[in-house]
Amino acid sequence: MIAIIDYKAGNLTSVARAVNYLGFSCKITNDRKDIMASDHIIFPGVGAAGKAMTNLADLGLDRMLNEAYRAAKPILGICLGTQIIFEHSEEDDADCLGLLPGSVKRFPDLLYENGMRLKIPHMGWNNVRWVREHPVFASLPDNLQYYFVHSFYPEPNDEGLGVGKTTYGIEFSSAVAKENLVAVQFHPEKSGQPGLKILSNFCLWRP
């Protein structure tokens, strides 16, 4: 069973629908026993980092996620769930989970590409350039597009954590991985067949 963590950060039903479509059983839950008994954990989310961290702490899920990571349980972060696995976010000046070394930065207010000013948030389809191989992103070429909605982006301290890069005025890490943890800034559940391939690869992954 795949546990989809419910910490009042939205975006859960579409993730569950995609996982079920792929033929995997899943449960939206904030129950520690369910999560620790699961085979895999999906940690999605939309919203603000500060509120998300408050919700996680209130539910005791901040400690549980650290425990699950140390126990080598496969974890997939999505969007906000990717940002708050790092140590700190400029959004709300929030201290985060610290599963990976690094921080989360806000896109510059003045952001340009090909002489045109870009809108913040970064919203819509964009490419991911894969910079190293990983089983969760296997068989995905560079020319595919994924759906993004975000104003902040992860900046790992260790460049070796990056698996995928995306350019939106600046280049940032849109996919990271370490040991049993993978995370993507985009929404695989809203990214058509390429996104479904990532979810399927994750659900089958045995790190």
123-182 pLDDT tens trace: 999 999 999 999 999 999 998 999 999 999 999 999 999 999 999 999 999 999 999 999
Domain formed by 2-204, architecture: 3-Layer(aba) Sandwich (3.40)
Q: Say what percent of the chain tops pLDDT 90.
A: 91
What three-state secondary structure class fits 39?
A: coil
Q: Which helix (H) or strand (E) holds 12?
A: helix 12-21
Which of the four pLDDT bands, split at 50, 70 and 90, describes residue 115?
confident
CB half-sphere exposure, 132, CA atoms < 13 A:
12
Two tokens, residue 77? 């972060």
What residues are labeled active site?
79, 187, 189
Taking the domains of the chain in order of start, what are their residue ranges? 2-204
What three-state secondary structure class fits 113?
A: strand
- Mean of pLDDT over the chain: 95
CA distance 76 to 177: 9
Write down the pLDDT at residue 10.
Answer: 73
Mean pLDDT, to the nearest integer, of 37-50? Answer: 94
Q: Is the pLDDT of residue 11 over 80?
A: no
Over residues 59-89, the pLDDT tens digits come to 999 999 999 999 999 999 999 999 999 999 9
Over residues 86-114, the pLDDT tens digits come to 999 999 999 999 999 999 999 998 888 88
Mean pLDDT, to the nearest integer, of 24-45? Answer: 95
Write down the pLDDT at residue 116.
Answer: 87
Two tokens, residue 28? 């939206």
Q: If phi over 0 gives left and psi between -120 and 50 gives alpha, with beta otherwise, what is residue 92?
A: left
CA distance 143 to 129: 8
